[in-house]
Structure 1
Amino acid sequence: MTIQTKNAMIRFENLRQEFSLSGATFTALDGVNLDIADGEFVTVVGPSGCGKSTMLNAAAGLLDPTSGRVVVDDIEVSGPSPRTGVIFQQYALFPWLTVRKNVEFGLELKKMPAKERRVIADHYLDLVGLTRFADALPKELSGGMKQRCAIARAYAVNPEILLMDEPFGALDALTRVHMQEQLLETWTKERRTVMFVTHDVDEAVFLASRVIVMAARPGRIYKEIKVDLPYPRTESMRLSDEFARLRAKVWEAVYHQPDAKGADE
């Protein structure tokens, strides 16, 4: 399946990714073609082993495709770029640095003056609701607060793209819902192109304007489902008939796929 859109910021072109496993070749992705538009919020879901994280890592420049390529704003990805912020499930905060210093870290690497770093860091800490905890150490934060710090750090270097791989997967249900709402509020204020990998169908529908469903063995795009719910998204939307319909549609696509390759074509 090929999914193209106008003004693509991220473009996967016939992406194939193979890995060696116990002396055998394992195909993680086979012929993935997908466009993500500038400023779009896309979620990617699918069964275990469908290559969701592999796609994201290729877009982040963290691995070299076996064949095909990923293009960002008409430039082929050949390695990590400051234009792209990556957020994983593990927060990877520096435990010896305060929240503010963690957010400033990327700016310090760019040799930005301390006063300017402070202004930018404080802006994004305010955006994610961590101003009161700017001088705290990571060990003093809850899991949700640590993830908000990671998001602020990614935003601070002003990336055009955010790649997020199960960023809320380790959080409890209530914190996860709060973080989803916080992320959308931040995205609305500081619009970025977002590719968000998740295994949670409710999360995929609530966040995105478009859900990409992957099929496994080998990983490929199975279906595109548009989410016609207006932004800003509210908690009450989760209880609506339209949300239930979309959730059921995504669930059906994820968990009731035909086994045969190409059955969706």
Structure 2
Amino acid sequence: MRPKISFQGVVKTYPMTGADFTALDRVSLDVGDREFVTVVGPSGCGKSTLLNMAAGLVEPSAGQVLVDGAPVTGPGPERGVIFQQYALFPWLTVRGNVEFGLKLTSLPADERRRRADHAIDLVGLTDFAYALPKTLSGGMKQRCAIARAYAVDPEVLLMDEPFGALDALTRVQLQDQLLSTWTRERRTVVFVTHDVDEAVYLARRVVVMAARPGRIHRIVDVDLPYPRTEELRLSPEFARIRNEVWTSVYHQQPAGSAA
């Protein structure tokens, strides 16, 4: 079966005085249709660069990124992107923010409203549809950003540390909310995070990257059932996989060293 997203030998270099800096070096990865993949790794390993390539915001220096077999040449409505910063319009309500992207389409007003209502309901913000961002908590603002991405009906969600600025309790709550939404909608998700527990809890596969230059160190299968629960977080099976990923992230040998 053809992968939904395919990174094929992607390289990204940036010019620097003296020599180019290689952010990503020959990274190849396939993400299946409706699969949930998380990407972890040390600072500077190119996690966000890889995600931005899939989003069409960064162009590879070599190699290519394909979505449904077609090369990515720029942003597209089939790919929704969610960053750590909410980027909500402060003068618009939750509904206004969620519906904003839809107004750039040719959809009639009633269909835009239906889609916005559906997305707002998915993230549990129906009671706050007419609230302004300044009245919302950080977690609610991020749920609004997720609803905005869902409203345009993307086939792929690209998420770059979307919960990184939130407190621990809110972060756990939004992880559960995201999985609940994903279970119902089944989009393809690539989720970048620096949090190992989060990476294991959300994903079917965890991609562990190494830095200098950025490359895939290993891929860890998360053979745990959905729905994921608090009980699962505390299970020996979760601890085993979490420790495996942790060791892969924080005990990597430098590039070029002997195994």
Compute the TM-score of the two structures, normalised by the length of structure 1: 0.95
Same amino acid, percent of matched pairs: 70
Q: In the alignment, is residue 172 of structure 1 matched against residue 153 of structure 2?
A: no
Q: What is residue 247 of structure 1 aligned with on the other side?
A: 242
Q: What is residue 113 of structure 1 aligned with on the other side?
A: 108
Counterpart amino acid of residue 139 in structure 2: G
Q: What is residue 74 of structure 2 aligned with on the other side?
A: 79
Q: In the alignment, is residue 203 of structure 1 matched against residue 198 of structure 2?
A: yes
Q: 1:63 aligns with which of 54, 58, 67?
A: 58
Shift of 1:64: 1.0
1-side partners of 2:2 and 2:230: how far apart? Answer: 31
Contact kept? 2:2, 2:69, Cα under 8 Å:
no
Counterpart amino acid of residue 5 in structure 2: I
Q: Deviations over 1:156-189 (max 9, x none)?
A: 0000000000000000000000000000000000
2-side partners of 1:134 and 1:23: how far apart? Answer: 53
Q: In the alignment, is residue 27 of structure 1 matched against residue 22 of structure 2?
A: yes
Shift of 1:106: 1.0
Q: Deviations over 1:28-49 (max 9, x none)?
A: 0000000000000000000000
Q: What is residue 98 of structure 2 aligned with on the other side?
A: 103
Q: 1:262 to 1:102 in 2, by over 3 A?
A: farther
1-side partners of 2:144 and 2:256: how far apart? Answer: 41
Q: In the alignment, is residue 88 of structure 1 matched against residue 49 of structure 2?
A: no
Q: Deviations over 1:180-211 (max 9, x none)?
A: 00000000001100000000000000000000
Secondary structure of 1:232's counterpart equals coil
1-side partners of 2:48 and 2:54: how far apart? Answer: 10
Matches within 5 A, 1:108-257: 108-257=103-252
Runs of 4+ in 1 over 6 A off after TM superposition: none
Unaligned runs of 5+ in 2: none
Secondary structure of 1:17's counterpart equals strand
Shift of 1:119: 1.2
Q: 1:219 to 1:98 in 2, by over 3 A?
A: same
Secondary structure of 1:8's counterpart equals coil
Name which of structure 1's ranges 16-25 and 87-96 shifts more when overlaid on structure 2.
Answer: 16-25
RMSD value, Cα: 1.2
1-side partners of 2:256 and 2:198: how far apart? Answer: 27
Counterpart amino acid of residue 152 in structure 1: A
Secondary structure of 2:164's counterpart equals coil
Name which of structure 1's ranges 77-86 and 106-115 shifts more when overlaid on structure 2.
Answer: 106-115
2-side partners of 1:51 and 1:18: how far apart? Answer: 11
1-side partners of 2:5 and 2:26: how far apart? Answer: 16
1-side partners of 2:258 and 2:122: how far apart? Answer: 45
Shift of 1:23: 5.9
Q: 1:8 aligns with which of 3, 10, 16?
A: 3
Q: What is residue 37 of structure 2 aligned with on the other side?
A: 42
Counterpart amino acid of residue 188 in structure 1: T
Shift of 1:128: 0.5
2-side partners of 1:263 and 1:196: how far apart? Answer: 31
Shift of 1:111: 2.8
Shift of 1:21: 3.5
Shift of 1:113: 1.8
**What is the aligned residue count?**
259
